[in-house]
Amino acid sequence: MSALRSLRLKPEAERRLRLGHSWVYANEFEGKLGALGLQAGQQVELITARGRSLGAAYVNPNVLIAGRLLHAPSDGFDVRAWLRQRIQGALAMRQRLGVAQAGRLIFGESDGLPGLVVDRYGPLLSAQLGTAGMAVLADEIADELRQINGVEALVWRNDAAGRELEGLPREVVVAFGEVVEPIWIEENGARFGISPISGQKTGWFFDQRDNRAALMPFVAGARVLDLFSYGGGWGVCSAAHGAHSALCVDSSGAALEAVQRNAKASGVGDRVSVLDADAFDACRQLRDAGERFDVVVVDPPAFIKRKKDAEAGTLAYRRINEAALKLVTDGGLIVSCSCSHHFSADALLDALNRAACALGVRLRVLRRLAQSADHPIHPGMPETEYLKGFLAEVRRP
């Protein structure tokens, strides 16, 4: 094992890293990072301005987040042992939560594995290598994951947009095993067929599992509208928990085919219907048709992907919540979520409140919602907390 090259940081990066953060920005390195002849993904040692070691890290000199600290000693750093220890730790926590067969097994920085995401669907893993530093470890990671009890196949969903910035190709590759879609999982009393190769992201949004569970006590007999439904996580679960009916709205035909398949497999095909439309248009159509719902779920894609989208995105959250609130019965419920990193829970609550005030309806928040426990939050990295939501009761004057 050869010694890692040492890179010195400016003093300002140190405090954040000592408080558990992983990221080092390009301008926090002493000297010109681009001039040092570093490879994208290379492992290095980071040292403070005073020359003390902060531990092993990996770098990519071509991106803004140019270094990610691994929070492991650099002296005799054994990447394979580090990977194994972190993966086992991540797995043990999911076993404790009871989601080790279906759930997010590894959530990047929060699990001490910057840039790596792994979801499990029974025998199949669907994973993302988000950085050059993780991409160079693909074979070692695959070898470690292969050893997990019951795992038969691994798909690299390396098609996320962020890969281009890292200088990595966007592709979907089967690392080992055979993948036959759909793969069935159970969640909140319903069955879902997952397409890890052709579905969105890794195939399923486990981050909403705990929130869907929080809604289920309220849905018996309800007419439910599931906006931005994807495979019907909210709508199909609601039907399985005794909802009178669920209408799932999405602009993806493939997602709605999955909804119908999932509803049928869950024994509620007769109570779940789909509408292939833009959610904003659908709200207008439903309102014009005089439709009302006892529960409306608003779970859109991130409207604010970059900071510069903040203004337009904030307006979009307000508009969609206003459109949704118009459809809720007196005494009904709204579930309103945001998965935008750059949009705080307070900002979402404000958007919801403004929408309610504009319409003259009163809201009472019953529950605050957050990403499921298998997407843990790192207390030193606010960036790991991204999903927020509110379950609120709606009263008309």
Residue whose CB is less far from ligand SAH, 58 or 230: 230
- Does 166 participate in binding ligand SAH (rule CB under 6 A)? no
DSSP string of 304-329, one letter each residue: -SSGGGHHHHHHHHHHHHHHHHTTEE
Q: Which amino acid is at 275?
A: L
Residue whose CB is less far from ligand SAH, 111 or 299: 299
Task: Identify the residue among 250, 294, 322, 374 touching ligand SAH (CB under 6 A).
Answer: 250
Task: Identify the residue among 108, 199, 233, 332 touching ligand SAH (CB under 6 A).
Answer: 233
- Does 279 participate in binding ligand SAH (rule CB under 6 A)? yes
What is the C-alpha separation between 335 and 241, in angstroms, rounded? Answer: 16
339 an active-site residue? yes
The token pair at 110 is 């929060």
Give min distance, CB of 132 to ligand SAH, in A: 27
Q: Which of residues 31-90 bind ligand SAH (CB under 6 A)?
A: none
- Cβ neighbours of residue 86 under 8 Å, at least 6 residues apart? 111, 112, 113
Give min distance, CB of 118 to ligand SAH, in A: 18
For residues 185 to 214, the per-residue mask of contacts with ligand SAH, x marking binding by CB under 6 A and - elsewhere, is ---------------x----x--x------
- Does 252 participate in binding ligand SAH (rule CB under 6 A)? yes
What is the C-alpha separation between 342 and 265, in angstroms, rounded? Answer: 37
Task: Identify the residue among 107, 218, 228, 317 touching ligand SAH (CB under 6 A).
Answer: 228
Q: How far is CA 303 from CA 54, 107, 235, 345, 348, in A?
A: 36, 22, 22, 14, 12
Residue whose CB is less far from ligand SAH, 58 or 234: 234
DSSP string of 264-311, one letter each residue: HHTT-TTTEEEEES-HHHHHHHHHHTT--EEEEEE-PPPS-SSGGGHH
Instruction: State the catalytic residue, choosing from 237, 248, 283, 339.
Output: 339
Q: Which amino acid is at 160?
A: A
- Does 229 participate in binding ligand SAH (rule CB under 6 A)? yes
- Does 336 participate in binding ligand SAH (rule CB under 6 A)? no
Q: Find the part of the chain contacting ligand SAH (CB under 6 A) among 36-44, 89-97, 225-233, 283-291.
A: 225-233
* C-alpha Rg value of the chain to the nearest Å: 23
Give min distance, CB of 87 to ligand SAH, in A: 26
Q: Which of residues 94-133 bind ligand SAH (CB under 6 A)?
A: none
Q: Find the part of the chain contacting ligand SAH (CB under 6 A) among 214-222, 226-234, 257-265, 374-382.
A: 226-234
Residue whose CB is less far from ligand SAH, 128 or 208: 208
What is the C-alpha separation between 155 and 175, in angstroms, rounded? Answer: 6
What is the C-alpha separation between 1 and 78, in angstroms, rounded? Answer: 8
Using an 8 Å Cβ cutoff, are 48 and 11 in contact?
yes
Positive or negative, the CA dihedral 310, 313, 317, 318 is positive
Q: Give the torsion through C-alpha atoms of 184, 385, 115, 83, to 10 deg.
A: -80
Residue whose CB is less far from ligand SAH, 62 or 200: 200
DSSP string of 363-397, one letter each residue: EEEEEEEE--TTSPPPTT-GGG---EEEEEEEE--
Residue whose CB is less far from ligand SAH, 66 or 283: 283
Give min distance, CB of 161 to ligand SAH, in A: 15
- Does 278 participate in binding ligand SAH (rule CB under 6 A)? yes
Residue whose CB is less far from ligand SAH, 271 or 378: 271
Closest C-alpha among 103, 54, 57 to residue 82: 57
Residues classed as catalytic: 339
Residues engaged in binding ligand SAH (CB under 6 A): 200, 205, 208, 228-230, 233-234, 250-252, 255, 278-279, 299-301
